[in-house]
Amino acid sequence: MSHTPAHLAALASAAVPGLDPVAAGTFPPAQRVSVDAASVQDSQGRTWIVRAADSAGTALALDAGAAAAGLVARRLSVSVPVSRGSLTLPDGGRVHVHAAMAGHALRLAGLEPHFPITAALGRLLAAVHNLEPGVFEDAGLESYTSEEYRQRRLADLDRAAATGRVPAALLTRWEAALENVALWRFVPVPVHGGLAGRHVLVTVGEDGEPTIRGLAGWRRAKVADPADDFAALVRDGDPEAVIEVARTYARSRSTRPDRHLLTRAKLVAELGYVADLFDALAAGYPDALDVASARLSQLAADLDGTELMPPPPPQAAPVTDPSYDVPVRATDGGDGAAAPAGDDAESPAADTPGPDQSAALPGLDGRPGG
C-alpha cells in the first residue's frame, strides 16, 4: 500500500471540512482495483472511509463510482457511499471520503427461497435497473447498446485467446454464446456493474430478520446488460433462491426482462476467471499468473460435458409466456462473501460451476410460464 492509514487520515481531513481525525486503521481494499483504503474516526465519534487512487485509470474509476453513488442516493431506498469530500493528488491521483455504512455483507450462498430478504434482493435489483438510463448517461458514465456490449465481450474473448492460457474448450463454449445474437437481445439499463454479496449491506432487527440497508461499490456502474448484476448470485446462490430473486425482480421491473438474462449471468460469472488472468498479467507476478491459469484449467474440467445455453423448447409445445433459463450455481465451496463489504468489484469464488441443470422460471408477469 502506497498510502498508510495515517497519511489517508490526513488526506481525509483535508478533503472534508470539520473532519478532525483521532484514529485510523486499515480497511479492506477493493478487488481488482489498485486503491488504498483506511477507516478513520474523528473527534466527533464519526467513522469515515477514505480511498486513494494513484493511477489515472483507477482515479477515473474512483470518480465514476462517486458520481454513480451520488446519482442514485436519492433514488433508492437504501444507503449508498456518497462522497463527502475529494482531493486531486499532485501525481493526478484522486481521493474520496464517505461516511462509513452500517451493516454486514449478505451471504448469497445462505439465501433460501422463503427468506424475506431473498425477495428484497430482487426488488433492490429491480429498483436499480428501473432507473432512467439518462441518469447515468447525463453524468458521463459508460453506456452501451446490447450489440456494443456483445462486441465488447467478444473483444475480451479475443484478448484472452491471445494469451494462450485459456483452454480451447472454454474459448469454444464462450464464443458460441457470444455469437448467438438471440442471447443478447436485452434492453440496456443502469447497472451496479459488479454486484456481489459483499456489496449488499444487511442489519438484523430485534425480530431477528435481516434487512438490506445499503449498497456499496459503484465503480463499475454504467448503462449495460442487467445480467452483470446477477452473475455473483447465479455463481454463489442456491438455484431455488435464484428463481425467487428473479421472480420478484421480474414482477418489480417497469419493463419485462428478457428470458436469457440468467444464462448471460452465468456466462459473465465464468468470464470472471478471465478477468483474474488479465489482472495477473498486468501485475506481472508469475505466481499469480500460474494460479489464474490453473483455475481456468480446473474450470474447463468442471464444465466438461455441460451446456451453457439451454436447449430450445420442443417445437410441438405451445409457448404462451416467455420464461427465464436458470443455470445452476457454482459448486458451493465458499460463503458468497469472501471479500469484505465496501469492495467494488467481484471476483470468482474459489468454487467452480457445477453441472448445468437449467430450470424454467415462471412467466415474467407472475403467471405460470409456457
Reference 190, options 235, 255, 248, 244; nearest CA is 255
Alpha-carbon distances of 67 from 84, 142, 146, rounded to whole Å: 11, 12, 23
- Output helix, strand, coil percentages for the chain, rounded to the nearest 5: 40, 15, 40
Of 4-18, 21-35, 199-213, 253-267, least confident by mean pLDDT is 21-35
Averaged pLDDT for residues 218-232: 97
Residue-wise pLDDT tens digits, 104-114: 999 999 999 99
Residue 133 has a pLDDT of 97
Average pLDDT over residues 220-235: 97
pLDDT digits (tens, 9 = 90+) for 138-165: 999 999 999 999 999 999 999 999 999 9
- Which helix or strand (DSSP H or E) is residue 39 part of? strand 35-42
Q: How far apart are CA 87 and CA 15, in angstroms?
A: 6
Q: Residue 134: is its pLDDT beyond 50?
A: yes
Question: What is the reported pTM?
Answer: 0.83
How many CB atoms are closer than 10 A to CB 355?
A: 12
Is pLDDT above 90 for 197? yes
Instruction: Please give the pLDDT value at position 350.
Output: 34
Instruction: Report, as an integer, the average pLDDT of 197-221.
Output: 94
- pLDDT above 90: residue 30: no
Q: In the predicted model, what is the mean pLDDT of the chain?
A: 86
Average pLDDT over residues 56-63: 88
